[in-house]
A and B are shown apart, each in its own frame.
Chain A
Amino acid sequence: MKKSFRTGLIVWVILSLAAVGCGADGGQKAESPDQQVLQLNVEQEPTSLDPALAFDFNSMDVVHSMFEGLMRLDENEVPQPAAAKNVEVSDDKQTYTFTLRDGLKWSNGEKLTAQDFEYAWKRVLDPETGSPAAFLLFFIENAEEYNSGGADADQVGVEALDEKTLKVKLGQPTPFFKQLVCYTVYSPVYQNGVEKEKNAFSNAESFVGNGAFKMEKWKHDDRIKVVKNENYWQADRVKLDGIHWAMSAEEATAYQQYKSGEFHMLYDTSIPPELKSSLIQKGEVKVTPGSGLEFFRFNVDKEPFNNKKIRRAFALAVDRQSIVNHVIQGQEKPALAYVPPGVKTEVGDFREKGGNILKDARYEEAKKLLKEGMEEEGWDKLPEVTLLYSTSDKNKEQAEAIQEMYREHLDVSIKLQNQESKVFFENQRNKNYQFSRSSFLADYNDPYNYLESFQTDHPVNRTNWSDEKYDELLEKAYQEKDEIQRLDYLHQAEEILIEEAPIFPVYYYNDLILEKPKVKHLIRHQVGPNDYTFVEIEKK
């Protein structure tokens, strides 16, 4: 027995050494200094790198580096020709004819044609694909019908006339169509590859793209490496040798990696919340306007929010500036309308033109409206109000701040309730709430995208609010060919939304970015993924 015990020990030690030894397979080493490799953090395994399926920011960030659409947004958010060399728009603004550049190639060296675009767009719309971003193509004639099974692929208004010409017919004038064409979901796909291999975008070997970079290595849940694509039409202008994405989901870790030089850049989702305000003060974090806003929804079918005056009272009794200064602390702007600043249209910034609609922290007016509202309804005491929010520290602090404002200025005490996020969304969608914290992030940078949400029975409405005039204005804007007229309809609609107050805005989102100063020529957009094509890492 003594002997067997000793043998057991020896076996144990050998096994443990073996376990320890099997680790070395060449991990993330520092790049040699003359290599131009951009090191980024994608936080977690992307949902999908298929341009038809990628729809969260992280996935699109990677996909966008390997694909190029017909057009690309420049640093002023203006669409510029990319894979297309020019585009002609018909007089009725419903037909777009794109002409492709000469000699375009896929990353595997094969010829890229207009048919690849037609194939890719119809693939996105194919109900079988199940693309979450398909609705971005619904402006094309019969696209929505095809996606919901009511039309054939042949009826969709996109057609490759020859190898170089793509004709697109829209269902209505869509002034922001050129902008849409810049987004990842409008990327071409390599038809032969996708038809041969069902999951062509699930591993590095079969991945074919047409962007400035091509897939080199994809180790799931660990890292993604792309390298310069020599077959890209302006490869001679691309300075980077490649981009590496690591997946550090923990903010504190990502931040320390950034500090140690392992990352060139971090987004606010990777910055530890407790450090945000001090990093902003130190000037280390860049603050740029975001593409969405924080707001609160009322369920207008539930007492007391069936009464407009009471809704208005709740909207006016919130001190947004104080919430931004003390709770959120990211230098956000208080939201006194629904569409954030920076939403550019052909005739300028939508918000600048519309100005503020609401006023911040109007306690006296709020008190008066609450009193009038209660008289209208014949209430001596306000029905109990519960504010619902999804569980997070920030949401909790914000809800408590608002609770305190109502207690102090309206003499109303509301209850707070938090739920895990999927439970919360399920309840919000089923309108199983009275008053709830909400947020909106734009899918494309146009006021229509913001305001369409509150049409009657729109899936994002979720307030039971319905207003004929509002619906009519949105429909008119959708069909309008004249840009000034269209924006006028949208301004009117926004005023109704704020006046009727099925929702009230709190603050506009900002994007916070930590970036090493040596990274140059990186183009960031208010909506949509970054453009790394011409990035250069300056040598010290």
Chain B
Amino acid sequence: MLRYIGKRLLIMLITLWLISTLTFILMNSIPGDPFTSEKKLPESTLENLKAQYGLDKPLPMQYVVYMNNLIHGDLGFSIKNVNRSVNDMLADGFPVSAQLGAQAMILAIFAGILMGTVAALRQNRMSDYSLMVLAVIGLSIPNFVIAPLFQKYFGLNWELLPIAGWGNFDQTILPSIALAFTPLALVTRLMRSSMLEVLGQDYIRTARAKGLPPIRVISFHTLRNAIIPVITLIGPLTAAILTGSFVVEKIFSIPGIGKYFVESIINRDYPVIMGATIFFSAFLILMNFLVDLAYGYIDPRIKLGKKEA
């Protein structure tokens, strides 16, 4: 097991290095630089600014400098937001994004499992149909449509919750629900189908036949097996929630890190592009790794690190 973890960690580092190198090359090949705009800065000012950020050096040199700083944990300074270090930006924004993401994730998984289970147990009945209609709506309406509607009704018209901002718990409710909307629908559908499959298995019939109370059959025999595909989904779900957060954070004026990912590219803010990409990649890679580890724990049939027979 330790060997397996060690190997995975090594692969993760190589992946991260490849991602950062590719990003560095791609980012420098887009036309325009951080100082391109309608107004043109005087040549001398431009040279000074470029020197300040080390952009006057040849690209391979910039790459070496960047990588060296990266190894030492220094992501450099933003060019757009003068004197703000990328480390600080990520350190300030990540807890916010993480809270939003975690709340959305918890909502999606728990409510999804619950709704999927209910739908499966009430298969082809009214509650099943209505839950599935809800799930289809959740899958087909993007969060940038849901979010403004939430703001208009819950925020402006009924004055139940704040329209935007971040700080108090009530400000986190609407964005969390908006962000959880699509993942929730995914989990519900997946849970329903996998639950139906497990319910048809012989051992469930056995469990019922030997007179176990239905609640025990469902919670320990069915749910436990039906949940495995949902665990598989957590990896991709994290990715979906991360990318969804770019939009939701912007709509709800949330000071998370989602916007850096998009805006840094528009601004050609090189250190922020690199910092955000590396951070997001590292996070995603790590999440996938944790999900793999979780498999082994939940499904003893999966043996990590052993060659398949």
- Residues of A that sit less than 8 Å from B by CB: 1-2, 4-5, 8, 16, 19-29, 45-48, 50, 53, 127-132, 134-135, 147-149, 199, 201-202, 219-222, 246-250, 252-253, 256-257, 259-260, 262, 420-423, 425-427, 429, 439-441, 443, 459-460
Please name 5 pairs of A and B residues whose Cβ atoms are closer than 8 Å in the assembled complex, sorted by A: A19-B99, A19-B103, A28-B167, A219-B255, A460-B39
With A16-B102, A127-B48 known to touch, is A222 a contact of B30 (CB < 8 Å)? no
Give the complex CA separation of A25 and B266 in angstroms.
Answer: 32
Are A47 and B40 closer than 8 Å at their CB atoms?
A: no
B163: A residues at CB distance < 8 A:
253, 256-257, 260, 262
A250: B residues at CB distance < 8 A:
250-251, 253
B140 within 8 A of A: no
B45: A residues at CB distance < 8 A:
127, 130-132, 134, 147
B201 within 8 A of A: no
B235 within 8 A of A: no
Residue of B with least CB distance to A424: B32
B83 within 8 A of A: yes
Are B259 and A130 closer than 8 Å at their CB atoms?
A: no
Give the complex CA separation of A253 and B93 in angstroms.
Answer: 20
A443: B residues at CB distance < 8 A:
39
Residue of B with least CB distance to A150: B44
Are A25 and B167 closer than 8 Å at their CB atoms?
A: yes
Residue of A with least CB distance to B105: A16
A1: B residues at CB distance < 8 A:
300
Are B82 and A47 closer than 8 Å at their CB atoms?
A: yes
B57: A residues at CB distance < 8 A:
none
Query: What would 8 more interface pairs be, CB under 8 Å, given A262-B163, A421-B266?
Result: A132-B45, A147-B42, A247-B253, A252-B148, A253-B164, A253-B253, A423-B31, A427-B31
Are A257 and B164 closer than 8 Å at their CB atoms?
A: yes
Are A425 and B38 closer than 8 Å at their CB atoms?
A: yes
Q: How many residues belonging to B are interface residues under a CB distance threshold of 8 Å?
A: 62
> B133-176: contact bitstring with A at CB < 8 Å (1 yes, 0 no)?
00000000000000010011001100100111111110110000
B106 within 8 A of A: yes
Are B255 and A50 closer than 8 Å at their CB atoms?
A: no
- Residues of B that sit less than 8 Å from A by CB: 30-33, 36-45, 48-49, 52, 80-84, 88-89, 92-93, 95, 98-99, 102-103, 106, 110, 148, 151-152, 155-156, 159, 162-169, 171-172, 220, 224, 250-253, 255, 259, 266, 268, 297-298, 300
Give the complex CA separation of A130 and B151 in angstroms.
Answer: 42
B81: A residues at CB distance < 8 A:
45-48, 220
Give the complex CA separation of A29 and B89 in angstroms.
Answer: 25
Give the complex CA separation of A257 and B163 in angstroms.
Answer: 6
B86 to chain A, nearest CB (A): 12
Are B42 and A135 closer than 8 Å at their CB atoms?
A: yes
A170 to chain B, nearest CB (A): 18
Are A147 and B44 closer than 8 Å at their CB atoms?
A: yes
With A253-B252, A256-B152 known to touch, is A19 a contact of B106 (CB < 8 Å)? yes
Are A459 and B40 closer than 8 Å at their CB atoms?
A: yes
Give the complex CA separation of A426 and B38 in angstroms.
Answer: 9
B259: A residues at CB distance < 8 A:
221, 249
Are A20 and B42 closer than 8 Å at their CB atoms?
A: no
Q: Considering residues A20, A149, A459, which has the most beta carbons from chain B within 10 angstroms of its beta carbon? A: A20
Are B168 and A220 closer than 8 Å at their CB atoms?
A: no
A2: B residues at CB distance < 8 A:
220
B164 to chain A, nearest CB (A): 5
With A23-B172, A221-B92 known to touch, is A256 a contact of B37 (CB < 8 Å)? no
Which 3 residue pairs across A and B have the least CB separation, nearest first?
A27-B167, A422-B32, A148-B44
Are B220 and A19 closer than 8 Å at their CB atoms?
A: no
Give the complex CA separation of A443 and B38 in angstroms.
Answer: 12
Are B255 and A16 closer than 8 Å at their CB atoms?
A: no
Give the complex CA separation of A128 and B171 in angstroms.
Answer: 43
**Other-chain contact of A26, B32, B80, B84, B167 (Cβ < 8 Å):** B167
Are A423 and B250 closer than 8 Å at their CB atoms?
A: no
With A222-B255, A250-B253 known to touch, is A429 a contact of B164 (CB < 8 Å)? no
A129: B residues at CB distance < 8 A:
48
**Other-chain contact of B92, A5, A25, A128, A220 (Cβ < 8 Å):** A220
Q: Considering residues B92, B93, B106, B220, which has the most beta carbons from chain A within 10 angstroms of its beta carbon? A: B106
A131: B residues at CB distance < 8 A:
45
B106: A residues at CB distance < 8 A:
16, 19-20
Q: Considering residues A4, A260, A426, A443, which has the most beta carbons from chain B within 10 angstroms of its beta carbon? A: A260
Are A249 and B40 closer than 8 Å at their CB atoms?
A: no
Q: Considering residues B48, B151, B224, B266, which has the most beta carbons from chain A within 10 angstroms of its beta carbon? A: B48
Are B151 and A220 closer than 8 Å at their CB atoms?
A: no
